[in-house]
Amino acid sequence: MAQGIKMPTTDDLMSMWQASGLKQKILFTFLMIAAFRLGVQMPLFGINNQIFSNIAQGNNIIGFLDLFSGGALGKVSIFALGIGPYITASIIIQLISVVIPSLEKLQKEEGEAGRRKLSQYTRVFTVVLAAFQSLIFMLYLHHLPGAILPNVNPIMFFISSMA
């Protein structure tokens, strides 16, 4: 071992654990993962999951999208879109910032405040994109034979699924 490197002791690790707020950050991360995994298990109202899961197994594109959603798309759960809208919005904002001079200025010249503003734009665009993608997904399910249970009101299906 090198001469100048000191291995942290148990006391050092305990002080880092308490001083940096690491405990709260780790707890928050575990709670978010648990909430996501719980949401993946909750199917959408009025959906015949077996029909869509059979289609998802035979379709490479849906299987690929299911990979990004953590298996939520194949189960048609309430978190079916996963992180896809955020990733797409982030890529689109990055590409648009090259074309639009004011966004490029925010990214390069404004420093940390500009990057925070660009991040805020990304989050707002994520909500818009998620609403659009969920509408397209619901229209796809609506036209898929047997995917929606027969006793479900179509208007209530769209309202409950888009919420």
pLDDT band at residue 3, thresholds of 50, 70 and 90? low
Instruction: Say what the pTM is.
Output: 0.73
Q: How far is CA 131 from CA 38, 72, 89, 141, in A?
A: 21, 17, 12, 15
pLDDT band at residue 4, thresholds of 50, 70 and 90? low
pLDDT tops 70 at residue 1:
no
Calpha distance 154→34 (Å, rounded): 31
Helix, strand, or coil here: 148?
Answer: strand
| 120-160 pLDDT per residue, tens | 999 999 999 998 988 888 888 888 787 788 787 777 777 77
Domain ranges of the chain: 38-162
